[in-house]
A and B are shown apart, each in its own frame.
Chain A
Amino acid sequence: MISYFKKQIQEIEASPGMRWFGAFLSLTHLWCFLLWNRKDYFVSSLSPSNSQPLCFPFFIDCDLARVFSPSILTIFLYFYAFLGLLAFFLFISKETSTKAAYWAFAAAVVYKNVFYLSNYNFMGNYHYMANISYLAFLFLPHKKWTIKYLIVGFYFAAGALKINIEWLSAAAMIAPPYIGGNLLMVSLIYVIYLELVLVFFLLCSNKWLRWSTLFQFIAFHIFSWHIVGFFYPMVMFSLLSIFLIDEYLSWKGEIQIEDRLPRFFSGKEYKSIYIVLVIFTLMQTLPFVFASDPSKSGAIRLSSLNMFDANTRCKELFVLHRKGQVVHLRRANEVTGVRIQCDPILFTNYLHQLCRENKQDPDFEKLSFSLVSRRATEADYEPILFIENACAQKNIQWAEFSRWGRF
Chain B
Amino acid sequence: MDKKVALGLVLFSLILAPLIYLANPHFLYIRDQYYEIIPHPPKAPATLFKKVDSSCESNTQFRVNAERVGYQKDAKPRAAVEIKKHIFPLNVGIHSASKSSPVADDSGIYVGSDTGWFWKMDFDGNKVWEFYIPGSGNGIHGSPAVDDKKVFIGAYNGFLYALDKMSGELLWANPVADFIGASPLVADGGVFISGETAHPDGLVARLDCNTGQTQWVSKWLGGHSHSSPAFHKETGSILVGANSGRLFSFDVKDGSTHWQKQFRGQIKGTPTILGKRMYFGSWDKNYHAVDIATGDVLWSTFLGGRTQTSLTLVPGHNIGITNTRRGDIAGLNLENGEFLWRLHHGDSNHQFSVLVTASKDDPRQWLAFSRCKSYQLCVLDAVTGKLLHNINLPGGFTSVPYAHGERVYISLIDNHGLVILE
A is bound by B: yes
Which residues of chain A have a CB within 8 Å of any CB of chain B? 163-165, 168-171, 173, 176-177, 180-182, 184-185, 188-189, 192-193, 196-197, 200-201, 204-206, 209, 259, 261-262, 265, 311, 313, 315, 317, 319, 321, 324-332, 368, 370, 372, 374, 376-383, 386, 388, 407
| Distance in angstroms between the alpha carbons of A197 and B30 in the assembled complex | 28
B302 within 8 A of A: no
> CB distance B37 to A317 under 8 Å?
no
CB distance from A383 to the nearest CB of B (A): 5
- Find A184's partner among B28, B168, B169 (CB 8 Å cutoff): B28
A-B contact pairs, 5 of them (CB 8 A): A171-B30, A205-B1, A261-B2, A381-B45, A388-B49
| Distance in angstroms between the alpha carbons of A184 and B135 in the assembled complex | 38
Taking each of B2, B42, B45, B47, which has the highest tally of chain A beta carbons within 10 Å of its own beta carbon? Answer: B47
B405 within 8 A of A: no
- Find A327's partner among B2, B9, B134, B173 (CB 8 Å cutoff): B134
- Closest Cβ neighbor of B34 among chain A residues: A376
> CB distance B28 to A378 under 8 Å?
no
B88 within 8 A of A: no
| Distance in angstroms between the alpha carbons of A319 and B161 in the assembled complex | 12
Given A169-B28, A325-B168; 14 other pairs, CB 8 A cutoff:
A165-B37, A168-B23, A169-B37, A180-B28, A261-B1, A265-B8, A317-B173, A324-B168, A325-B129, A325-B130, A328-B136, A370-B47, A378-B42, A379-B41
Binding-face segment, B13-21, B142-150, B224-232, B395-403? B13-21
| Distance in angstroms between the alpha carbons of A168 and B134 in the assembled complex | 38
> CB distance B49 to A368 under 8 Å?
yes
- Closest Cβ neighbor of A210 among chain B residues: B1
Take A325-B132, A372-B175 as given contacts and tell me if A262 and B43 are in contact as well, using a CB distance cutoff of 8 Å.
Answer: no
Q: Residues of B contacting A192 with CB < 8 Å?
A: 16, 20
| Distance in angstroms between the alpha carbons of A220 and B24 in the assembled complex | 23
Q: Residues of B contacting A171 with CB < 8 Å?
A: 27, 30, 35, 37
Residues of B157-202 whose CB lies within 8 A of A: 157-159, 161, 163, 168-170, 173, 175
Which residues of chain B have a CB within 8 Å of any CB of chain A? 1-2, 4-5, 8-9, 12-13, 16, 19-20, 23-30, 35, 37-45, 47, 49, 129-136, 155, 157-159, 161, 163, 168-170, 173, 175
- Find B5's partner among A200, A330, A372 (CB 8 Å cutoff): A200
> CB distance B13 to A164 under 8 Å?
no
Q: Residues of A contacting B27 with CB < 8 Å?
A: 169-171
> CB distance B37 to A377 under 8 Å?
yes
Q: Residues of B contacting A382 with CB < 8 Å?
A: 45
- Find B157's partner among A184, A201, A319, A330 (CB 8 Å cutoff): A330
Take A205-B1, A265-B5, A326-B169 as given contacts and tell me if A383 and B45 are in contact as well, using a CB distance cutoff of 8 Å.
Answer: yes
CB distance from B142 to the nearest CB of A (A): 15
- Closest Cβ neighbor of A181 among chain B residues: B28
Nearest first, the 6 closest Cβ-Cβ pairs linking A and B are: A330-B135, A315-B175, A168-B25, A370-B47, A381-B44, A262-B2
Describe B's contact surface by its main secondary structure: loop
CB distance from A175 to the nearest CB of B (A): 9
CB distance from A297 to the nearest CB of B (A): 14
CB distance from B361 to the nearest CB of A (A): 39
CB distance from B197 to the nearest CB of A (A): 10
- Closest Cβ neighbor of A204 among chain B residues: B1
| Distance in angstroms between the alpha carbons of A205 and B1 in the assembled complex | 6
> CB distance A378 to B158 under 8 Å?
no
> CB distance B175 to A185 under 8 Å?
no
Q: Residues of B contacting A176 with CB < 8 Å?
A: 30
Q: Residues of B contacting A193 with CB < 8 Å?
A: 13, 16
> CB distance B9 to A163 under 8 Å?
no
| Distance in angstroms between the alpha carbons of A249 and B335 in the assembled complex | 92
> CB distance A328 to B159 under 8 Å?
yes
Taking each of B13, B37, B132, which has the highest tally of chain A beta carbons within 10 Å of its own beta carbon? Answer: B37
| Distance in angstroms between the alpha carbons of A180 and B42 in the assembled complex | 26
Q: Residues of A contacting B16 with CB < 8 Å?
A: 163, 192-193, 196-197
> CB distance A380 to B43 under 8 Å?
yes
- Closest Cβ neighbor of A382 among chain B residues: B45
CB distance from B71 to the nearest CB of A (A): 33
> CB distance A185 to B28 under 8 Å?
yes
